Structure 1
């Protein structure tokens, strides 16, 4: 495994294939308040590409081109948050997308454990540490532990997607899942506009 760290943007000409796993690290859990600090990506080849985003940075042209490329599926776990965080930072709508958390919730109704750590352990046989989840991602210099944690959030998403997709097909819910994925960018935009809890349009 190799972890590549970049400042402010992906390098020009980097090709990550037709399905790119993406995750973000921010200063908190409110994308309207807490700035985007890091975007991590993987093509599923065992390598991770980490992009540090500077405070006040409003653009990352190469990353934005990938996020908006209609020929590339952006693969997330809890994409609703990541899509909103990048929309807030760069003003772009990420699409098309695939979300392992939504897929898990559609087919794993026998449990409330839909976190990435649980899913990777049960469906992929990988145990990842979440120890660095609440560390300071706004630091100018990331520790090796932070970089390894950030990489682990994207390195196994392709395998997880494959496992979940097989069950979605088996349970005849793949089309339903796809319609949910297609709605995710709109759901994220509604969050940024203030239609999240307690003002959720879909709440009773």
Structure 2
């Protein structure tokens, strides 16, 4: 496994293929308050590409083009937050998308543990460390531990998708999952518009 660090944007000519795992790191989890700092990506080949973004300009045309490319499927775990961050700070709507957390909730109804660490442990037998999750992602330099953590969040998403796709198909929920994935960018827009804590489908 190799982790490549890029400053500001993806390098010119980099082809990550038709399915790309993506995650992001921020200074916190509050939309509109906390900036987007880092985006990490993997093509599923065992390598990770970590982009330390230039703030506040966010001048990253190649990354933005990838996020909006209709021919590239973007894999997330809890994509709702990342997609909203990309809409807010990068000005792009990320499509098409697949979210392993949504897939897990629809397929693994025997548990309420759908965090990336739990799903990866059960389905792949891999133990992830979350020690760097709350570190300073806005720092001028990222530490080796931060880079390793960022990479770990995307390196297993392709394999998780394969496992979850089989479970979704077995339970007859593939089409339902796809409808949820298609709605995710809209859910992100609702979050940004102020409905992040409101279930608009609820009766009350």
Question: TM-score, normalized by length of structure 1?
Answer: 0.97
Asked if structure 1 preserves the Cα contact closer than 8 Å seen for 2:8 and 2:58, the reply is: no
Does residue 128 of the first structure (1) align with residue 128 of the second (2)? yes
User: Which residue in 2 is equivalent to 1:18?
Assistant: 18
3-state SS, counterpart of residue 109 of structure 2: coil
Following TM superposition, by how much is the alpha carbon of 1:12 offset from its aligned partner in structure 2, in angstroms?
1.2
Indicate the SS of the match to 2:89: helix
- Using the size of structure 2 for normalisation, the TM-score is 0.97
RMSD: 0.9
- Alpha-carbon offset, residue 98 of structure 1: 0.2
Give yes or no for contact 2:129–2:149 (8 Å, CA) kept in 1: yes
Deviations 1:64-98 (A, max 9, x none): 11001111000000000000111111110000000
Distance 1:89 1:59 in 2: 10
In the alignment, is the contact (CA less than 8 A) between 2:66 and 2:72 conserved in 1? yes
What displacement does 1:55 show?
2.2
1:35-184 equivalence runs, <5 A: 35-184=35-184
Q: Unaligned regions of 5+ residues in structure 1, if any?
A: none
- Deviation, 1:31, is 2.3
3-state secondary structure, aligned to 2:44: coil
Offset at 1:202?
A: 2.5
- Provide the rounded CA distance (Å) in 2 between the counterparts of 1:148 and 1:60: 22
Q: What is the number of equivalent residue pairs in this alignment?
A: 203
Which residue of structure 2 aligns with residue 202 of structure 1? 201
Structure 1 residue 201: deviation in Å? Answer: 1.9
Gaps of 5+ in 2: none
Whether contact under 8 Å (2:94, 2:185) holds in the other structure is yes
